[in-house]
Amino acid sequence: MQSRRRFLNTLSLPAAAVAVGMPLRPTELRASAIDISQELRRHVGAPDEIAGDEDFWFEVARAFTVDRTLVNLNNGGVSPSPGFVQEAMKRHLDFSNLAPSYTMWEILEPQREGVRSRMAREWGVEAGEVAFTRNASESLQIMQFGIDLARGDEVLTTTQDYGRMITTFNQRVRREGIVLKQIQIPVPAEDVSRIVRLFEDAITPRTKAILASHMINLTGQILPVTELTAMARRHGIPLIIDGAHALAHFDFSLGALDVDNYSSSLHKWLFAPHGTGLLYVRRDKIPEVWPLMAAPERMDTDIRKFEEIGTHPAANYLAIGEALTFHQGIGPKRKDARLVYLRDYWANTLLENDNVRLHTSQKPGFACGIANVEVLGVAPNDLRDYLWRQHRIITVSINHAEFQGLRVSPSVYTTISELDRFVDAVDHVAKHGLPA
């Protein structure tokens, strides 16, 4: 993994020259990026020490162009990109439009392979196992629709998996007559062996696929996908992994996870352009999965068959490289530690109220920056609306059959004073209720 100094030096370099003579103009955003690099050089320390170093995170936050008149605590839905990521995408888009059939297809599109190689290297897999998609839903639907199933075949998942993915399987239920089985898991779930056992006990001779989230979007719960994959392999059942909220959120290697596939959105925690996603499929599993859109037979073993969607922009995907450089410069371990620090900062204060419940584990390894909090007796929708209308704070209300609350997801640009605004507002409601 590259050092902070190497990253900062990269960030300070002029942009690479673009072919066909398109001029590159310096911008205030690039000047800001250089200023950020100079400031971050001064900060050293272990991840746990950096997690609370507000000077360091102030410099990180300067990379973003967010609206500071409000407090955005829904970064789990979609994140803003740093200014220089936006600028890179705009630059590539401008270049594309000079003569798209040449500039976009022949010059920019091949550069996708460099981004593919960098992403694969960062997460410990091969470049030939990484496809770029538009989001985690597309990646997951490639897997969900790409596995052959017959009438009566069962697919297994939990009651907490992402709604769109449940809808995807339910369409196969209606269209093909498969059977969807959903199991309940504890909230929070802090026993790895129990989680694996709950899945395994639900397997029958007709179970042909399993879907599990690496990080559950409702609560931030991290599931043991390595252990679940090993269990599924013992039964000869493919396990589809939803990593929409996990990749670039907390520190892990896809190679070390030892999974067969992995789907994620890059516009969440990698801070890549909106509409970018990733699909990892282990090389020997690629031939077993049909692409969502048709690809020629010669591509049966090629990861790029999953990218066969017709005309698409090059700009979004090339700017992933800028986002990756930013992620590497912050450092995955420092980012992980900071997000946990922010979660505990607001959660521990609110938990001093007897009527506040956290539906997310604070034990290491079971959650990171996303958490679900409930004020007993206060409807989540009402609390969400109050926070927005009265305090300009964005959260997500979760109304699940097994639990409810607000999903709170700050990011690396979130300041302590912004979290104080959130804590003060919710603490007041916990003590006095919502105003009439």
Number of domains in the chain: 2
Say yes or no: 269 and 237 in one domain. yes
Burial (0-12, 13-18, 19+ Cβ within 10 Å), 160: buried
Do the domain assignments include residue 257? yes
Residues 406, 384: contact at Cβ < 8 Å? yes
Say yes or no: 223 and 316 in one domain. yes
Of 266, 293, 323, which residue constitutes the final position of a domain? Answer: 323
Say yes or no: 128 and 275 in one domain. yes
Each residue's pLDDT tens digit, 103-159:
999 999 999 999 999 999 999 999 999 999 999 999 999 999 999 999 999 999 999
Do the domain assignments include residue 44? no
192-201 vs 225-234: helix axis angle to the nearest 10?
A: 30
Of 323, 346, 372, which residue constitutes the final position of a domain? Answer: 323
CATH number, domain of 421, equals 3.90.1150.10
Say yes or no: 383 and 289 in one domain. no
Say yes or no: 267 and 231 in one domain. yes
Do the domain assignments include residue 48? no
Say yes or no: 133 and 219 in one domain. yes
Say yes or no: 143 and 222 in one domain. yes
Q: What are phi and psi of 185, to 5 degrees?
A: -125, 155
Of 323, 350, 380, which residue constitutes the final position of a domain? Answer: 323
Calpha distance 436→430 (Å, rounded):
14
Please list the pLDDT of the chain residue by residue as tens digits (436 residues). 444 444 444 443 333 333 444 444 334 545 555 566 556 667 788 999 999 999 999 999 999 999 999 999 999 999 999 999 999 999 999 999 999 999 999 999 999 999 999 999 999 999 999 999 999 999 999 999 999 999 999 999 999 999 999 999 999 999 999 999 999 999 999 999 999 999 999 999 999 999 999 999 999 999 999 999 999 999 999 999 999 999 999 999 999 999 999 999 999 999 999 999 999 999 999 999 999 999 999 999 999 999 999 999 999 999 999 999 999 999 999 999 999 999 999 999 999 999 999 999 999 999 999 999 999 999 999 999 999 999 999 999 999 999 999 999 999 999 999 999 999 999 999 999 999 8
Say yes or no: 296 and 226 in one domain. yes
Each residue's pLDDT tens digit, 277-316:
999 999 999 999 999 999 999 999 999 999 999 999 999 9
Do the domain assignments include residue 9? no
CATH number, domain of 281, equals 3.40.640.10
Q: What six digits make up the tokens of 405?
A: 């609350």
Q: Residue 5: what pLDDT? A: 46
Say yes or no: 224 and 306 in one domain. yes
Do the domain assignments include residue 94? no
DSSP bridge pairs for 240: 211
- From 298, 289, 288, 292, select the one nearest 277 (Cα to Cα): 292
The pTM (predicted TM-score) of the whole model is 0.91
**Distance of CA 175 to CAs 145, 163, 167, 172, 207, Å?**
12, 18, 12, 5, 18
**Other CB atoms within 10 Å distance of the CB of residue 176:** 12
Residue 212, H or E segment: strand 207-213
Say yes or no: 148 and 277 in one domain. yes
Do the domain assignments include residue 319? yes
Per DSSP, the residues of 259-310 read -SEEEEETTTSS-PPTT-EEEEE-GGGGGGS--SS---GGGTT-GGGGG--S
Looking at 353-392, which runs of residues are DSSP E strands? Answer: 356-358, 371-375
Domain that holds residue 353: 333-430
Do the domain assignments include residue 238? yes
Say yes or no: 247 and 350 in one domain. no
Calpha distance 6→263 (Å, rounded):
29
Do the domain assignments include residue 150? yes
Say yes or no: 124 and 271 in one domain. yes
Let me know the angle formed at the C-alpha of 408 by 407 and 414, rounded to the nearest 5 degrees: 160
